[in-house]
Amino acid sequence: MSYQTHTLPSGLRIIHKHIDTPVAYLGFGIGVGTRNESHLEHGIAHFMEHMLFKGTPRRSSMEIIELIEGVGGELNAYTSKEETMLYAVFPDQYVERALELLCDIVQNSHFPEDELRKEQTVVLDEISSYEDSPSDLIFDEFENMLFRGHSLGHNILGTDKSVSRFSSARLKRFFSRYYQPSNMILFSQGAIDFGLLISLTSEYLGEPSEKELSFAKPECAAIFSPNSVRRLLRRRDTHQRHVLIGGYAYPRHDSRRLAVSVLVNLLGGPSLNSRLNLALRERTGFVYHVECSYTAYADTGMISIYFGCAPSNMEQAIRLVEEELKRLVEAPLTEEELEATKRQLKGQLMVSHDNRETTFMSMGKNYLHHGRVDDLPDLVRRIDAVSAAQLHEVAQDLLEPNKLHHLIYT
């Protein structure tokens, strides 16, 4: 599938994928997330995402919602450590309406104090709900442990204290600093005329900003070493033990990133025949769910293994995880194992690419961070090129048990 791209004089980058469908997809990707926050701004990127729907000088919050939701569409957003995504899905006869609305939001949101106070209550409740979910909370606490002293370790939601002190003036400063065309992309999918898309967007966001982008992402020091490995126990009032084992991985632009993804899928991907699922669930019944994940940031990364189990099974389950890691560290995959692993991952990608909203969001995130989008045939070719030797080298580098931290909720 080919993509059309264009860059406006303002620096706004546009990417479009044409699909013959009566449903259109439009979104903005903004290069700002939790890692851009100062200590006093902890949680502000996520709070800003909530407040984007709360009004502009031209529209109230209800009018913003009605313009898309009132015609059967969906208006949504999310925040991560390094990006904020705002997007709409709607019947394609409303393209001009949706585009004008989204441009208004990313240019003119004005954060009225009454809406801010209401949303503070909503986010504080979200924080409380999150703290009641140990299987979610443990990931945030683990990142805080790994990236201690760095904003990458911040919880995306913020804290009760930080969220409670946000003001309209503080939000406006953050908005002005990061929500500039040169720090955004516009991504679209559907039967949308690309020339019309460029023309309309130029009317709203075509001119260069009078303000220069005035931020820099905090550098992430190399903080992982065998000497700093920790096993940290936290007391939680839960019936299960929650365990997260992980450590350093490669950044987003590292050439070994795909090899890590292949290893992670083999070890604890979504399929029932992953090595960890077979060892911890199918053969022993120690866990209901186990997963392995890889998160790549601009200048660092994290690999993690998570499971929950009965207290009596925890140490045995940890030993089984370490045995599976040692298998990958001590010997390369056989050719048969390698081909089966790659075949499975390629099949999973084909299935996921059949979901239009999934491919739309993936396109936006990849174009924001990489300046390109690999289509499915390209991804398949790159997976086919991964060798057993590459996987073995990555396993030895990342999966040695003495390089991995443990966080355990007891």
Place of tokens 């060798």: 387
Per-residue pLDDT of the chain (410 residues), as tens digits, is 589 999 999 999 999 999 999 999 999 999 999 999 998 999 999 999 999 999 999 999 999 999 999 999 999 999 999 999 999 999 999 999 999 999 999 999 999 999 999 999 999 999 999 989 999 999 999 999 999 889 999 999 999 999 999 999 999 999 999 999 999 999 999 999 999 999 999 999 978 766 655 555 555 554 444 446 688 999 888 889 999 999 999 999 999 999 999 999 999 999 999 999 999 999 999 999 999 999 999 999 999 999 999 999 999 999 999 999 999 999 999 999 999 999 999 999 999 999 999 999 999 999 999 999 998 999 999 999 999 999 999 999 999 988 999 999 99
CATH 3.40.50.410 fits 226-409, yes or no: no
First-to-last alpha carbon distance for the chain, in angstroms, is 49
So what's the pLDDT on residue 173?
A: 96
Phi and psi at residue 232, in whole multiples of 5°?
Answer: -110, 125
So what's the pLDDT on residue 208?
A: 77
CATH 3.30.830.10 fits 4-205, yes or no: yes
Q: Report pTM.
A: 0.93
| CATH 3.30.830.10 residue spans of the chain | 4-205, 226-409
Radius of gyration over alpha carbons of the chain, in Å? Answer: 23
| Residue 140 burial (C-beta neighbours within 10 Å; 0-12, 13-18, 19+) | middle
